[in-house]
Amino acid sequence: MNDGTHNATMTPIYPGSVDAAGRPATLGVLGGGQLGRMFVHAAQRLGYFTAVLEPDAQSPAGLVSHHHIQTDYNDPAGLAQLARLCQAITTEFENVPAQALQMLARTRPVAPGAAGVGIAQNRIEEKAHFTACANLSGVTCAPYAVIETPAQLQAVLDDRADLLPGILKTARLGYDGKGQVRVRTAAELAAAWAEMGSVACVLEKLLPLTAECSVLVARGWDGQVVSFAAQRNVHVDGILAVTHAYEGNMPPALATRARAAAVSLAQHLDYVGVLCVEFFVVGEGEHADLIINEMAPRPHNSGHYTLDACNVSQFDLQVHTLAGLPLPEPRQHSPAIMLNLLGEVWLDASGQPREPDWASVLRLPGTHLHLYGKAQARAGRKMGHLTITGPDVASVQTVARQVAGLLGLPF
């Protein structure tokens, strides 16, 4: 399904090389947030020049890149400039316009391609894809119904009472708990759809979850695939709060099934790049049900621990896949717990600014602080993350509890 003009025959772009015009090997990224920033750091560490296309003058990625093209994602002149500067281009978030990726792919390798990104942008298409892939991946999504018209809403009210209680989600532009609301009754469903502006939505049956997990996969132009072990995630108000990444974080057979399903999805998409697949777990033990929640065509918050706990990070693999380099097999050398740092860490109980107690936090063994260069803290805004590594799971858990207590974080 990869819809770029470049495929397995693509010539690798080696670090430190120059093109025919004498320009240094440069990798581009659409989007200037923290994921773009960490991609830029990984590319620069290997020796690549980087270019970021992002309208925000103070974007985290734009501030650290060799080139910052400050235009809208659909601006033809900006996209043309990015294509001139770069030998290959990626994206740091799934809501970049798919047509921008298509335009760039006419002249440059683009990974992931517009087709895969387009599926992830639309929950209706995404769920249809998961359902179609169920035989290959061995897992499927939660029961759901599409609601795009009043007639479809009425059909759900008349015939799909089994989907209530459920979660009504907008088909587009929903992430971190945004664009979704829980509904218990038919009346609540009708009211919620109207309040959302009667836009295209999916109603998803609310399941009795026992856990959530995710798997990161990297797939190259030549079809080579590597993946990380499944990580167990804890969300608060729809935003990732904690990632547990260590042996025994979930039943081994369940983790193996999740990993195999994520790889299968990447292969079915003919995907190039880093892909995160998120799962719900329903039930206990090795034979619990595994339900696909959604996929992200990019590195993911739950994979940030790979920067400190693995021989290769998700961002290193993003660079490798884009440039056509060999993909090293990921190996985790330390148990890890990742704590998400939202803007609340910088605000006291009354909402006034405060300085977090970094001295006490960084005094603890195995703490790795990553701040994203965002000037203003706001409630719910992702400002950074902190990973704790150590020689064993017990010591990592102990330090994580101490950090959570010092910063007022859930754990």
Tell me: is residue 73 an annotated ligand-binding position.
Answer: no
First to last CA, the chain: 40
Identify the pLDDT of residue 175.
60
Q: What is the pLDDT of residues 50-59, one digit of tens each?
A: 999 999 999 9
Tell me: is residue 235 an annotated ligand-binding position.
Answer: yes
Strand, coil or helix: 159 = helix
Tell me: is residue 372 an annotated ligand-binding position.
Answer: no
Alpha carbons 34 and 301: distance in angstroms, whole number: 10
Asked which of 71-80, 176-185, 268-277, 292-301 is least confident by mean pLDDT, the reply is 176-185
Tell me: is residue 374 an annotated ligand-binding position.
Answer: no
Tell me: is residue 174 an annotated ligand-binding position.
Answer: yes
Tell me: is residue 177 an annotated ligand-binding position.
Answer: yes
Return the percentage of the chain with pLDDT > 70, whole number.
97
Return the percentage of the chain with pLDDT > 90, whole number.
86
1 pLDDT above the threshold of 60: no
Prediction pTM value? 0.94
Tell me: is residue 127 an annotated ligand-binding position.
Answer: no
Name residue, tokens 């819809």: 3
Tell me: is residue 207 an annotated ligand-binding position.
Answer: yes
Q: What is the pLDDT of residues 112-157, one digit of tens each?
A: 999 999 999 999 999 999 998 888 778 889 999 999 999 999 999 9
Alpha carbons 5 and 3: distance in angstroms, whole number: 7
Q: What angle do CA 94, 100, 106 make, to 5 degrees?
A: 125
76 pLDDT above the threshold of 70: yes
What domains are there in the chain, each with its CATH number?
A: 26-121 (3.40.50.20), 143-205 (3.30.1490.20), 211-407 (3.30.470.20)
Q: What is the pLDDT of residues 307-365, one digit of tens each?
A: 999 999 999 999 999 999 999 999 999 999 999 999 999 999 888 999 999 999 999 99
Tell me phi and psi for residue 252, to 5 degrees.
-55, -45
Give residue 257's Cα distance to chain centre. 20
Identify the pLDDT of residue 3.
44
Q: What is the pLDDT of residues 248-304, one digit of tens each?
A: 999 999 999 999 999 999 999 999 999 999 999 999 988 899 999 999 999 999 999
Contact 15, 48 (CB under 8 A): yes
Mean pLDDT of 94-100: 88
Rounded to the nearest integer, the mean pLDDT of the chain is 93
Tell me: is residue 2 an annotated ligand-binding position.
Answer: no
Alpha carbons 323 and 329: distance in angstroms, whole number: 17
Tell me: is residue 205 an annotated ligand-binding position.
Answer: yes
**Quick one: 151 exposed, middle or buried, by C-beta within 10 A (0-12, 13-18, 19+)?**
exposed
Alpha carbons 325 and 280: distance in angstroms, whole number: 33
Q: What is the pLDDT of residues 31-53, one digit of tens each?
A: 999 999 999 999 999 999 999 99
Identify the pLDDT of residue 351.
86
4 pLDDT above the threshold of 70: no
Mean pLDDT of 230-255: 96
Identify the pLDDT of residue 95.
85
Contact 39, 140 (CB under 8 A): no
pLDDT band at 8 (very low <50, low <70, confident <90, very high): very low
Tell me: is residue 62 an annotated ligand-binding position.
Answer: no
Q: What is the pLDDT of residues 367-389, one digit of tens each?
A: 999 999 998 999 999 999 999 99
Tell me: is residue 380 an annotated ligand-binding position.
Answer: no
Tell me: is residue 175 an annotated ligand-binding position.
Answer: yes
Identify the pLDDT of residue 173.
73
